[in-house]
Amino acid sequence: MLSKRKNRNTYKLTLRWTAGHEGLKGNKLADKEAKRAAEGLTTDKPLLPSYLCKPLLINPAAIKRAHNDMLMLNWSRTWRASNRGRRYIHLEDLTPSKKLLKLSSHPELSQVDASCIAQFRLGHAPTNQYLKRIGRVDSARCLACSKEVETVEHFLLRCENYAHERWALTQHTSKLHKLMTMQTVLGHPKMAIKLTNYIKATSRFKDMLPMA
For position 179, what pLDDT does the model report?
92
Strands 11-13 and 2-4: antiparallel
What band does 3 get if pLDDT is binned at 50, 70 and 90?
very low
Which residues 6+ apart lie within 8 Å of 135 measured at CB?
none
Give the pLDDT score at 2: 46
Overall average pLDDT of the 139-150 stretch: 94
Query: Would you state the pLDDT for residue 160?
Result: 95
Q: DSSP strand E in the chain: where? A: 2-4, 11-13
- Please give the C-alpha separations between residue 54 and each of 4, 42, 58, 60, in angstroms, as whole numbers: 19, 16, 12, 18
Q: Which of 21-25, 41-45, 146-150, 203-207 has the lowest mean pLDDT?
A: 21-25
C-alpha pair distances (Å), 94 with each of 70, 76, 98, 113, 184: 18, 10, 9, 24, 15
Query: What's the pLDDT score for residue 178?
Result: 92
Tell me the pLDDT tens digit for each residue of 12-69: 778 777 666 666 777 778 788 888 887 877 777 777 777 777 777 778 888 899 999 9
The more confidently predicted of residues 106 and 2 is: 106
Nearest residue to 166 via CA among 183, 153, 151: 153
Count other Cβ atoms within 10 Å, centred on residue 130: 18
pLDDT, tens digit, for every residue of 77-89? Answer: 887 788 777 767 7
Taking alpha carbons only, the member of 87, 102, 92, 201 closest to residue 155 is 201
pLDDT band at 130 (very low <50, low <70, confident <90, very high): very high
